[in-house]
Structure 1
Amino acid sequence: MAKESFDKEIQFLRMLVLTSGAYSRQQFADRLGISVHTFDKTLRKLKEIVNSMYQQLPEEQGKEFAEMIRFNYYDSTDPMLLFLFRAKSLKESESHRFSLVLAALHEKPLTAMELLDVCCNDPASNSTLFPDEKTIRSDLKYLEEVGVIKRVPGPRPSRYRIQNELVQALSEDELLDLYDFVDVMANTQVPSVQGYLLRDGLKKNVARSYADPEASKQAMEPFLYKYHYHSRILDEAHLFTLLAAIRNRRKVSFIYFSPKSDKSYASKNTNPLFERETEGSTHTTLPVKVIYDHQYGRWYLLSHSREGIRKYRLEGMTQIGEEGEPISEAFYQERLRTLEAQIQYSWLIDTGQPVTVRVRFFNPGDTGPNFIRERVLLQGQWGQIVEEEEESFIYEILVNGITEIRPWLRSFGSSCEILAPNQLRREMIAEWKEIAAYYASI
């Protein structure tokens, strides 16, 4: 299917959320690397996408674009940046054709030629855009691949039907239990976008089983979420392009804006009269592994280039595309083994020299559950508790460098004392002194 590139819109939304409207139009455009005219045009496009999502609602329930960006737990139970993954990733003609095909298959199984007749006989369709048999068969193949429809066993020509046995076979209570489970998992597991889309589909089916819309709303909202890692959802637009390149063993090329860059996007130079130098740098590399950082909600690409192992944050990657012929399986496996050997002791993606970190954790003073110990065992990866006393225990882990583990250790506050290495101990002492100085005047 024809997919749009949402690079600009992704960076636009990321900045809009992070700045909470603090930038003027000119500042916003400068930070992105686009003109004010492009800023206005992009904002209009996003408003159109939002309006297309909520056009079926009564006017008083419609959502304005600005309301989707308010930092209020009860105003945005849905993940607000998800709409880029919905219907607007297809051309308008494709969306209309899919609607006709699915509506027809909902009534009874049909062949490709019967579906072609349905599309061509639709009075709302433009006669100049009537599909041909090849287009219909391509649509059916796509819908079958994504699990929306299913072939009916029998002789040729093949007949297709809607694949909705799951929701049809469940009782009202079972459907609601499934919705609650998907709702929780979509907000807590990785990756998230498919879970949100599944949740939306289940929500519509649950709503149909209730005569009173208010009752269905109350039944479906026992939990209210405010998801803080918008980048995780946005970066999934790039994630599947990279996973496909890894699966196909092909290099990718992209324009990269590092976290320290003054800009996060640059408009494409399609008009030579307004051509200007791109701020981002162009990279071509062989993707080997994608890693997710739970602590900060970030995706990382680890790849192989002539310089060796390279690391990129997905939020800085734009205009990604596969390039060249697939490399050999043997070459790729060798690069994968090399990478895994280098990150064997990485807390996340650090490829520095291994160092043993030794930490004393202090048990809580009360007689309740030892939540400090439980958290260390849960989050401490391959580290081990090597000594235990009544008041404390000592934890050891071999990690590549001390940079990535430091935020985790710091989060324990006074319940944690660094014993080794000395460099990490000195750095933590300096950090806590700096924090204490902030409160010295109070």
Structure 2
Amino acid sequence: MAKESFDKEIQFLRLLALTSGAFNRQQFAERLGISVHTFDKTLRRLKDVVGSLQQQLPKEQGKELSDTIRYSYYDSADPLLLFLFRAKSVKESETERLSLLLGAMQGEALTAMELLDTCCGAMPANLPMPDEKTIRSDLKYLEEVGVIRREPGPRPYRYRIQDQLVRSLSDDELVDLYDFVDVMANTQVPSVQGYLLRDGLKKQLLRTGGGGLAVEPFLYKYHYHSRILDEAHLFTLLHAIRRCRKVEFLYFSPKSEKSYASKNTNPLFERETEGKSIHTLPLRIVYDHQYGRWYLLAHGREGLRKYRMEGLTQIVEHEDVDQEWYGQKQAELDAKLRYSWLIDTGPAVRVRARFFNPEGSEPNFVMERVLLQGQWGEIVQEEEHSFIYEITVNGFTEIKPWLRSFGSSCEVLEPRQLRQEMITEWKEIRAYYESV
């Protein structure tokens, strides 16, 4: 699948998950920045992917992708949006070719020429036949990502599937490994690679007849769609950061009326887009656990800039920069983020709050949560029924949702402006629950 197409489908699925099918075709296409024809074509493509990868769905739910997202995504332990990554990286001809290669190497080690003969004999007539250079390029790629290994010995080299680990484990050991991967994929970031590994382990257990998955011990109800979808950009940006390399992308801010723009190759059909072309140097990626969002912090002409990764499309790597200068920019960023709760680089303020101990509860889960999540803040005073917590942060906008999440167990003491804002918000919430 082409890179631009994947960007489009990321935004397509994001909007579908957010709206739950509330838009009609015309509204959906306008919001996404594509034509109705492109909307229909993308929907057909995604239906094909769902049909081939989500065999376990009931037949009636497999008919409509929007219903699948709406009724199955949030009610399933499996993150449905993950199917996009399974169809992400290659075009149709490459998908067929790699499947044939992996299938041929499943049972025995084969040379490149033997694999070429296998592909040419099994490729569908409507797809182009590969040549030796293409097969060797595929083998190099599969070897680099660790899917296959080259057998020791003289030329011509032989290749086989690299599955010694799972084949050497017993069914009980495979189940233990599966459970560990399942927990880590659902609780840590990034998670997509863990989900794919978990699916591979599940297939291996089914192949070996392992019965340990009859009842899965862990079920995870909800997944942030942005967390999963935005990981498509994560490793591209990390690759650029490791190599001190600039990137260029088309950016749509959260306030933009559109979230995608097609890359028009025909000048007769060019049209203005609401996206902004950005050429910048990525410095750091930050994940917000509160809202399940990824942020890119980068250095550009205007200095430090922050981008929500859900608005990034058409990312392309550019030239390298001097490593010493790059290190200076990262040091400047570290200084600005020293007191940042997340990514705020505003002036530092001292926040002081009183937390009330829960009555008759041992251990004190309020204090435990403050100590776990309170970052570099500290408890400066303890009393019988409460304790006081202090922290210096860049502004209080980012810490406010955390303080508010404690409800009546937290009272903001300082600064005065934050205290007044909290009072106003709680009065509004109280008004919602007044009797009619």
Same fold by TM-score greater than 0.5: yes
Deviations for 1:139-161, whole angstroms, at most 9, x for unmatched residues? Answer: 11111111111122233332222
Structure 2 Cα separation of the partners of residues 273 and 184 of structure 1: 51
Partner amino acid, structure 2, of 1:17: A
**Structure 2 residue corresponding to 1:218, chosen from 211, 214, 225:** 214
Deviations for 1:317-336, whole angstroms, at most 9, x for unmatched residues? Answer: 1111112x211111111111
The aligned counterpart of 2:246 is 251
Judged with a 3 Å threshold, the aligned counterparts in structure 2 of structure 1 residues 3 and 167 are, in CA distance, closer, same or farther, namely farther
Within 5 Å, which residues of 2 pair with 1:85-104? 85-104=85-104
Tell me, yes or no, if the aligned pair for 1:119 and 1:125 is still in contact at 8 Å: no
Greater CA drift, 83-92 or 421-430? 83-92
Tell me, yes or no, if the aligned pair for 1:207 and 1:216 is still in contact at 8 Å: no
What's the secondary structure of 1:355's corresponding residue?
strand
Tell me, yes or no, if the aligned pair for 1:186 and 1:193 is still in contact at 8 Å: yes
Could you tell me how far 1:72 is from its partner in structure 2? 5.2
Judged with a 3 Å threshold, the aligned counterparts in structure 2 of structure 1 residues 216 and 373 are, in CA distance, closer, same or farther, namely closer
The aligned counterpart of 2:177 is 178
**Structure 2 residue corresponding to 1:393, chosen from 364, 371, 387:** 387
The aligned counterpart of 1:24 is 24
Partner amino acid, structure 2, of 1:89: S
Judged with a 3 Å threshold, the aligned counterparts in structure 2 of structure 1 residues 199 and 276 are, in CA distance, closer, same or farther, namely same
Q: Does 1:408 align with 2:402?
A: yes
What's the secondary structure of 1:352's corresponding residue?
coil
Could you tell me how far 1:81 is from its partner in structure 2? 0.8
Structure 1 Cα separation of the partners of residues 243 and 3 of structure 2: 19
Judged with a 3 Å threshold, the aligned counterparts in structure 2 of structure 1 residues 372 and 127 are, in CA distance, closer, same or farther, namely closer
Could you tell me how far 1:303 is from its partner in structure 2? 0.1
Deviations for 1:49-69, whole angstroms, at most 9, x for unmatched residues? Answer: 2123246x7985983323421
The aligned counterpart of 1:129 is 128
Could you tell me how far 1:338 is from its partner in structure 2? 0.6
Structure 1 Cα separation of the partners of residues 127 and 258 of structure 2: 43
Deviations for 1:290-343, whole angstroms, at most 9, x for unmatched residues? Answer: 0000110000000001111000000111111112x2111111111111111100
The aligned counterpart of 1:147 is 146
The aligned counterpart of 2:9 is 9
Tell me, yes or no, if the aligned pair for 1:73 and 1:224 is still in contact at 8 Å: no
Tell me, yes or no, if the aligned pair for 1:2 and 1:90 is still in contact at 8 Å: yes
Tell me, yes or no, if the aligned pair for 2:81 and 2:228 is still in contact at 8 Å: yes
The aligned counterpart of 2:256 is 261
Query: Considering only aligned residues, what root-mean-square deviation do their CA atoms show, in Å?
Result: 2.3
Within 5 Å, which residues of 2 pair with 1:19-418? 19-54=19-54, 60=59, 63-64=62-63, 65-71=65-71, 75-120=75-120, 122-126=121-125, 129-210=128-209, 218-219=214-215, 221-323=216-318, 325-418=319-412
Tell me, yes or no, if the aligned pair for 1:34 and 1:265 is still in contact at 8 Å: yes
Percent identical among aligned pairs is: 70
- The aligned length equals 435
Unaligned runs of 5+ in 2: none
Structure 1 Cα separation of the partners of residues 186 and 112 of structure 2: 38
Tell me, yes or no, if the aligned pair for 1:357 and 1:397 is still in contact at 8 Å: yes
Judged with a 3 Å threshold, the aligned counterparts in structure 2 of structure 1 residues 160 and 253 are, in CA distance, closer, same or farther, namely same
**Structure 1 residue corresponding to 2:416, chosen from 406, 411, 422:** 422
Deviations for 1:205-238, whole angstroms, at most 9, x for unmatched residues? Answer: 1111228xxx66524x333323330011000111
Could you tell me how far 1:133 is from its partner in structure 2? 2.3
Structure 2 Cα separation of the partners of residues 35 and 232 of structure 1: 27
Structure 2 Cα separation of the partners of residues 3 and 24 of structure 1: 26
Tell me, yes or no, if the aligned pair for 1:256 and 1:280 is still in contact at 8 Å: yes
Partner amino acid, structure 1, of 2:136: R
Structure 2 Cα separation of the partners of residues 435 and 59 of structure 1: 41
* TM-score, structure 2 normalization: 0.93
Judged with a 3 Å threshold, the aligned counterparts in structure 2 of structure 1 residues 311 and 154 are, in CA distance, closer, same or farther, namely same
Q: Does 1:437 align with 2:431?
A: yes
Deviations for 1:65-86, whole angstroms, at most 9, x for unmatched residues? Answer: 2342134578532211111111
Judged with a 3 Å threshold, the aligned counterparts in structure 2 of structure 1 residues 362 and 71 are, in CA distance, closer, same or farther, namely farther
What's the secondary structure of 1:283's corresponding residue?
strand
Deviations for 1:152-191, whole angstroms, at most 9, x for unmatched residues? Answer: 2233332222211111111111111111111121111100
Could you tell me how far 1:110 is from its partner in structure 2? 2.3
Structure 2 Cα separation of the partners of residues 59 and 386 of structure 1: 57
Judged with a 3 Å threshold, the aligned counterparts in structure 2 of structure 1 residues 403 and 98 are, in CA distance, closer, same or farther, namely same
Greater CA drift, 88-97 or 405-414? 88-97
Structure 1 Cα separation of the partners of residues 155 and 118 of structure 2: 19
Tell me, yes or no, if the aligned pair for 2:4 and 2:314 is still in contact at 8 Å: no
Tell me, yes or no, if the aligned pair for 1:73 and 1:226 is still in contact at 8 Å: no
What's the secondary structure of 1:89's corresponding residue?
coil
Greater CA drift, 406-415 or 73-82? 73-82
Unaligned runs of 5+ in 1: none
Tell me, yes or no, if the aligned pair for 1:355 and 1:401 is still in contact at 8 Å: yes
Judged with a 3 Å threshold, the aligned counterparts in structure 2 of structure 1 residues 67 and 88 are, in CA distance, closer, same or farther, namely same
Could you tell me how far 1:269 is from its partner in structure 2? 3.2
Structure 2 Cα separation of the partners of residues 439 and 378 of structure 1: 32
Deviations for 1:413-435, whole angstroms, at most 9, x for unmatched residues? Answer: 11111111111111111111222
Could you tell me how far 1:351 is from its partner in structure 2? 0.2
Could you tell me how far 1:245 is from its partner in structure 2? 1.4
Could you tell me how far 1:250 is from its partner in structure 2? 1.6
Tell me, yes or no, if the aligned pair for 1:362 and 1:392 is still in contact at 8 Å: yes
Partner amino acid, structure 2, of 1:146: V
Structure 1 Cα separation of the partners of residues 146 and 352 of structure 2: 50
Greater CA drift, 275-284 or 197-206? 275-284
